[in-house]
Amino acid sequence: MIVTLSINYSRVSDIIEPDHLILTPSVPVRAYRDSYGNWCSRFVAPTGLITLRGKGVVADSGEPDPFVPWLEERAVDALPNEALLFLLGSRYCETDLLSPIAWELFGTAPTGWGRVQAICDYVHHHIRFGYGHANPTKSAYQVFHDREGVCRDFAHLAVAFCRCMNIPARYCTGYVSDIGEPPPYSEMDFAAWFEAYLGDGWYTFDPRNHKSRIGRILIARGRDAADVALTTTFGPTTLESFKVWTDELTGSEDAMTSGPPPR
């Protein structure tokens, strides 16, 4: 098995309590960085039940995702080399099939941030969310036609549309807290969003939640979900259950590290 469940290197300076991966039964684990810089763990799972768990504490600014509406997109020949990969089609983001549709929908939209926002608006309002619509093989093109999906499907379609419009976009997975959100709170799950390259950097967009959120914790980035699968198995497996939580902790550092598990 290969698992990608560790907090991304971009948040390493914020980690108060490391999110060490604990396996029961205990088996040797080897860790490595993949080609995107994501922290991965590999191990051979024994026959029978195996449990993976971990918790960590991360210091967060408490600020929502940046909102910078004046940023413009860059011409393709002015993009940094490392951004070019995220203009290409990928397993779940078929730019060849969606390009004519994207230009028809967003060709007259404002450029830059406004165009990415128009894409997010479209995806949010035209795709119906529901866990019953989850399908591990569903691609952006299928999402566009089915008009339903989960957060990864929202992200895939938005990523594909951005790339069709020559805006680099990369898929992200991680945790999104309910900090600053009114109750009732939904059952927590791993979340998917994306980042678009505008101006001179990457910026977060979330077509599923469709708003800036506080306490977003990145696990991994890639071209699409195929690059950042939480678990990849080489042999038959069955997921028995899982639980995800991201809670706000307050008080001293001692109280934070000894209190209830934050994730």
pLDDT at 7 over 70: yes
pLDDT in the model for residue 259: 41
pLDDT in the model for residue 150: 95
Predicted confidence band at 173 (pLDDT cuts at 50, 70, 90)?
very high
pLDDT in the model for residue 254: 46
Predicted confidence band at 155 (pLDDT cuts at 50, 70, 90)?
very high
Model pLDDT for residues 182-241, shown as the tens digit of each residue? 888 888 889 999 999 999 999 999 999 999 999 999 999 999 999 999 999 999 999 999
Non-local CB neighbours of 104 within 8 Å, separated by 6+ positions: none
pTM of this prediction? 0.92
Rounded-to-integer distance, Cα 193 and Cα 116, Å? 13
Predicted confidence band at 251 (pLDDT cuts at 50, 70, 90)?
low
Model pLDDT for residues 80-112, shown as the tens digit of each residue? 999 999 999 999 999 999 999 999 999 999 999
Q: Say if domain 76-171+182-211 classifies as CATH 2.60.40.420.
A: no
Q: What are phi and psi of 22, to 5 degrees?
A: -120, 130
Rounded-to-integer distance, Cα 180 and Cα 178, Å? 6
Tell me what the mean pLDDT of segment 63-91 comes to: 97
Region of residue 184 (phi > 0: left; psi between -120 and 50: alpha; otherwise: beta): beta
pLDDT in the model for residue 263: 35
Domain ranges (residues) in the chain: 76-171+182-211
Structure token digits, residue 187: 């059952």
Model pLDDT for residues 118-149, shown as the tens digit of each residue? 999 999 999 999 888 889 899 999 999 999 99
Starting at the edge strand that comes first in sequence, how are the strands of the sheet with 2-3 ordered? 30-33, 39-42, 2-3, 231-232
Residue where the block lists tokens 């929502």: 64
Structure token digits, residue 42: 């590999």
